[in-house]
Amino acid sequence: MIKNLIQNELFSHFFQPIIDIQTWTRIGFEGLLRTSHYVNPEETFNVAKTEKQLYELDSRSIHKAAFSYHSAGFSKKDGYLFLNVFPSTLTNTNFLPFIKRIITENKYFSQQVILEISEMETITDFSSLKENIAKLKSEGIRFAIDDLGKGNSNLQSIIELDPGFIKLDKYFSVNLWKDTKKQEFIKAILCYTNNHDIKLILEGIETEMDLAVAKAIGVKFGQGYILGRPKALNVI
């Protein structure tokens, strides 16, 4: 089933806004895979991994999301498009030529797209990952570290991969208003990111109180249901 889903692109994407919560302006969207064939995107990717189709699904998802976003009239002025990518996709020998081909055909890609390095997969070959990311950066591609603080998240990635963005896992948003430890941790991360020209995005903000505290402690960029739910492009 997964091969048929990939080959016929029986999937689409919803897009969730990312907001500058200090100025209440939108800086872009995250594209999120959707399909009726599996319960959720995580299951879809897990099945693809089991059937050795992860690269095919990941690369096609990136291409389709970017194409759909641009075809719907969203341009550079509408902000960035954040798209998840697995470490194994980044180290696949086919990925760099694939991205180069997209950029050659569609100049907007390198101007709009930010690739989020997914923490759903353990990094097994860090040196190759670092090397390939450097090559992609030379093509104009920018990167984010996704879900920092969750699962296999690796602080080494922040230092070695020099991302333009760090997305802090939603764990830190839940009850942020009353959890001083979380507040202190976010302040420490902000100190590092501000000193190294990295933009921090706090994910999973869902309540007015957590939003207010995030804003008060200096978080600039946020994502979560209170800021906007994932939607199809035709209803954004």
Distance between CA atoms of residues 191 and 158, nearest Å:
14
Mean pLDDT in residue range 109-134: 91
| Tens digits of residue pLDDT in 146-199 | 988 876 656 888 999 999 999 999 999 999 999 999 999 999 999 999 999 999
At position 147, the amino acid (one-letter code) is D
For residue 141, the enclosing domain spans 12-30+67-235
Per-residue confidence (pLDDT) for residue 153, from 0 to 100:
57
Strand partners, 34: 12
Tell me, yes or no, whether 37 lies in a domain. no
At position 169, the amino acid (one-letter code) is D
Tell me, yes or no, whether 22 lies in a domain. yes
Per-residue confidence (pLDDT) for residue 163, from 0 to 100:
96
Distance between CA atoms of residues 195 and 159, nearest Å:
13
Per-residue confidence (pLDDT) for residue 155, from 0 to 100:
80
Tell me, yes or no, whether 43 lies in a domain. no
Tell me, yes or no, whether 115 lies in a domain. yes
Q: Are 94 and 101 in contact (CB under 8 A)?
A: no
Listed in sequence order, the residues at least 6 apart from 75 whose beta carbon sits closer than 8 Å to its beta carbon are: 108, 112
Q: What letter does residue 25 receive in the DSSP assignment?
A: E
Mean pLDDT in residue range 54-75: 93
Tell me, yes or no, whether 60 lies in a domain. no
- pLDDT(125) > 60: yes
Tell me, yes or no, whether 59 lies in a domain. no
pLDDT > 90 in the chain, percent: 81
Tell me, yes or no, whether 95 lies in a domain. yes
Distance between CA atoms of residues 28 and 10, nearest Å:
25
**Domain at 192, CATH number:** 3.20.20.450
Per-residue confidence (pLDDT) for residue 122, from 0 to 100:
81
Tell me, yes or no, whether 44 lies in a domain. no
Give the chain's domain count.
1
H-helix or E-strand containing 142?
strand 142-148
Per-residue confidence (pLDDT) for residue 234, from 0 to 100:
86
- pLDDT(98) > 90: yes
